[in-house]
Structure 1
Amino acid sequence: MTQPPSALATTTDPEDTTVHLPDRPRTPLRRRGRTASVVVALLLATLAPALPAHAADTISVSGRVTDEADQPIADLVVSISPDGGGRVLSATTASDGRFTIAAVPPGRSELSVDDDWAAEDLWRHQTWDGTAGVEAWTTFDTGTSDLTGVAFRLRPTSGFVGHAVDEHGAPLENIAWDVLEQHPDTGAWLGRQYGPLLTDEGGRMWFAADPGTTWRLCFTDSWYQPTDEGMGRWTPAVRHTDGCWDAGGGSGVALADASDISFTDVGQRVDVTVVMPTAGKALTLGYPAIVGSTDTGTTLTASPGTWGPGTVSLSYRWYTYSEAGGREQIPGATAATFTTTSAQQGMQVGVEVTGRRSGYATATRLTSLGPIGRTAPTVTSPLTITGTPAPGQTLTASHGALSPAGSSVWSEWYVNGVPAGYGTTFAVTAAHRTATVEVRARFTASGGGERLATAKVRVPGLAFTPATPTVAGTAVVGQTLTAKVGTWSPTPTTLTYQWYRGSTAISGATGKTYTLKAADRGARVKVKVTGARAGYDTASRTSASTATVKGVLVPATPTVSGTAKVGRTLTAKVGTWKPSGVTFTYRWYRNGTAISGATGKTYVVAKADRGARLHVRVTGSRSGYVSQSRSSASTAKVV
């Protein structure tokens, strides 16, 4: 029995990207998807109720599947369905390649063979034309008797396996990929018009390519799925650098500089790897929309959606899309708005919204509207959200009458920028407290013209009973102040702080404590405390201001000049104090005891001082500063 060629085959020449089929089979790679016909065949064959078969009403279809060398191929799905639609029946080929499908209604039908859905597209798809299998879609007339001798002779599939890995060689799951083919007339590289196309858990993708074609493969870490929209959630902590395959092994390679992947032979398989270094932490992306209409000469506005975390810098680039030219940037169109002209007639217009934040990977999302030039429907009054935005209530997307007749509207709801459902109404629950609910309505005329409008409403949260904070500590430069938050009800799960100098927020002063700086001298300081809790509106309270913050003098240690002898004069030398402008007072001491009346800068040694040691204490003062005192060293004993 013929074994299918393996997609895991590797090259023997490092400069040769053509994969030569191995002598022994290997387990084929897991595929994410399958063609719709095979999926339907398998599902309906499994789920459809068994119908009674009557010999006069049904026939059987049997045959064999082989390769071009007449070797049998096992485990392929052969399916048949009526040309006009109906129940799909299927069978799996046995080890000798044979199959039989029973209870087939006679008539015009499609009979096809394909890989099992979990395989790797190792064989080219065929349908039966009544005499042979062909690599095209066709139907045939079964006749009214059992059909035998169906013979499919399959050729191996050409294609390539791509691997997305990080800088350490670890596979990257859910990396978006695209294969692009150059337009023969315009030279534009055109990608697939379906998706999402994502790598599997092993970081791999597969694409079937015909001989005589040339492709380029690009990976982008652009798949964001904050909610389960049918494919699970996907919110990785980091993102990776986008890039296309380069035969030289480069990373971050742009499409224009990528290497070609060319196919010349049936069954040729290529294995390539793209290294995607870590680019930074992952942003939370908004879902952008273009608000406006397809009427020529109207102004379109990019609504970026909700980006995070924190403040994300957004930029815009507008494009046109056409079958011949692909995506082309509109020169100079980098604002949040764009006014269409006749130059965009017949083309879709799109906007690329790019978010940037330090430490995070730059991320981009696209959206489009069009084609431009088609007359959009009108509404007699704008889109609004009616109803009470509270748990247990229903919101309704309301608007005026549509014209012309036959126009339709499609509404999608968002909660805090994340898709949350479709339809005219939206049910508010307790989980939506404090959230912003948005509806986007797309009005479409029978001629294809479109108008997109948005409306928003906020669902209020529950209310805190907050406390007014107080400030503990001394209002002196260099001292630490502490915010005392008091008792809130209920207790916030998060408390944030902002300290103010007068009415101005102090940059970076966002902790529970704050150490007073020289810049605070002469000002009064206060703190604002903000409490947050799920389902509650945030609340803020601000403390009373402190006393005026005083500075701290930088003192010097005084010295005493003169001779410690009765009748001689001693003088206090204050040294250099900072800042300037300090005034001084003095107090002289005999053996540590203040001398009555000795409060001048100089002191005449008295008889009572004989045998004692003298020193002076200097106190410096200046408005707005805390006074400081310093004592000199003691003199020698007075003689």
Structure 2
Amino acid sequence: MRGAVGLAVGALLAGLVAPVLSAGAAETATGTVSGTVTSYAGAPVGDWNVRIYEHDVAGHDWVEVVGAQTGPDGRYEVAVEAGTYRVLVEQTAASLRGGPYNKTDPEQELAYEFWPDAAQITTAKDVRVAAGQTVRLDPVLEKGRTITADTTYQGAAAPYTLYRLKPVDSGFWFAPNMVENRGVETVTFHGLRPGGSYELEVFWTATGEEGAELRRELYSDALFDAQMAPVRIPPSGPDPRLTIFLGEPDPRVQNTTPPSISGTARVGDVVTADPGTWDTGGLTFSYQWSANLVPVEGATSRRLRIGRALAGKALTVEVTATAAALAPGTASSAPSAGVARRPYAGSVTVSGKPVVARRLQVVIVTRDPVAPTVRVRWYAGTKLVATGARLKLTRALVAKRIRAKVTFTHPYRTTVTRTTPYTARVRR
């Protein structure tokens, strides 16, 4: 990895661990978020942070407004103003200086959570709190996963390293994933979520002296934050392990032009990944498609047929390039537009004779296995005379020509309205 001049050691550490904002700060609070945090084994989880965020429209970011810590029984209660929020449950800073990862430590074993069950704040759900309302959230923390990094400087451990890991697209670093080491080559980030994608940066010095200037490096050899290669934890299988070479280019495959996606992002269509360009030849490529930054299970081919579950979501593809004698390189495409829905393809006709006292009925023909919601409106000329699937013809409609307008609302297709031809004139 290549470095950039950063901050002094003490100055950086002073600002890394953000305190939980006290619930008392919300002087005009009119609602409450409360509940109990438990582990996947059913045990209460005490001394964890519950942080409440709201969206800063002007800054296009998520900002913490208030928070609390769980008690020994896992319970918490946070007073908030009426509004819309997202909630993070994470370890406290007290666990950060506890030494290497310990798989027998129940706290280190648990994964953080953006409510409910999300790895990134962008895929979490809104929590709406009205005046006088108590909203109950009872997070159940699942077993955490890990990312391990082996880091060297000139063939040995760097005298001082400080690592930060954050979920992709969350906009902030949070406490459990900051690790400080002195003279240690291997670090493990614990409590991560399966299927999560993360960005890693390293601050380091070659001396480790107090007040020494830090160099900042971004995984993997990125020059800017926007070029950072995400580290993805697969939903199943082994946890990822990285190799980082401080102060020099990594001996790995390097991406020179990002991957891209061709084709129309529409339900039922096929999109294709272009792997981009790389700095060496003889490569083999593997692919992982994501929707709204969440990996799509089983979507590991160059081409992706877009299923209806992806409607409305932005697609990205992560490409891993592998070559002999080099560490694999990864790069991701820019997100596509939201997957479009196809128009509903059903046809509509009117059956029945246009005779007083008889009934006309709409007939819908479709091959779609999922039935739409249907709204039928009947017109005599241009005048709306009735709604519903059937129309009983009355004397008032004599000599009128009838037609129906049918609106289809479908869970994964665009809403469309079909209009039937006019019938013959109604007769007695």
TM-score when normalising by structure 1: 0.23
- Tell which has more relative contact order, 1 or 2 (C-alpha 8 A, sep 6+): 2
TM-score when normalising by structure 2: 0.33
